[in-house]
A and B are shown apart, each in its own frame.
Chain A
Amino acid sequence: GAVVSQHPSWVICKSGTSVKIECRSLDFQATTMFWYRQFPKQSLMLMATSNEGSKATYEQGVEKDKFLINHASLTLSTLTVTSAHPEDSSFYICSASSVSYEQYFGPGTRLTVT
């Protein structure tokens, strides 16, 4: 149980376009979802926390207009990278949490902006 999926697993896009990444909790209801960014061989940097049905809370330094997060249901959250640029290339990981203390992580999405 407690499976989290992400789609796509790898995406390449051109500079200036927008990319949407989906995060789904497959067998539980996720009241909270977290989005992380990870650079090669570095730790996870929390970008934002989203609760179902409400606006996401962004960490300091994360542009909310650039990284749009929507948590429309208890099983789906999306991250849209708007007007992507090469510096947005990274590994994006989501995690989902129910009423318990644990977070369950998705497999990650590799974004490459050319």
Chain B
Amino acid sequence: ILNVEQSPQSLHVQEGDSTNFTCSFPSSNFYALHWYRWETAKSPEALFVMTLNGDEKKKGRISATLNTKEGYSYLYIKGSQPEDSATYLCAPGDRGSTLGRLYFGRGTQLTVWP
């Protein structure tokens, strides 16, 4: 079992605020880091898959960075909107186990108030 930590556990922001959260994971044996967005009563949807140290990905107002040497990734949301309200999950893959298997963190629950 890989120890994946996400912080904060929950976050409440006003519409228009920018926000960010952290995912930390063991850096040894790393090969990929996934971010997923999970709305209530729906299923998780993939946002990004990152593999290279220093990698940056962007999708609209959401972006993510990756530091594989120190074992962390940041997810940023610029100008949060109520529709961004969801739980954001990170999931690293580990070469020490079967490739393809991910280890999900417990997520950061974001609520954006209008």
Tell me, yes or no, whether A binds B.
Answer: no
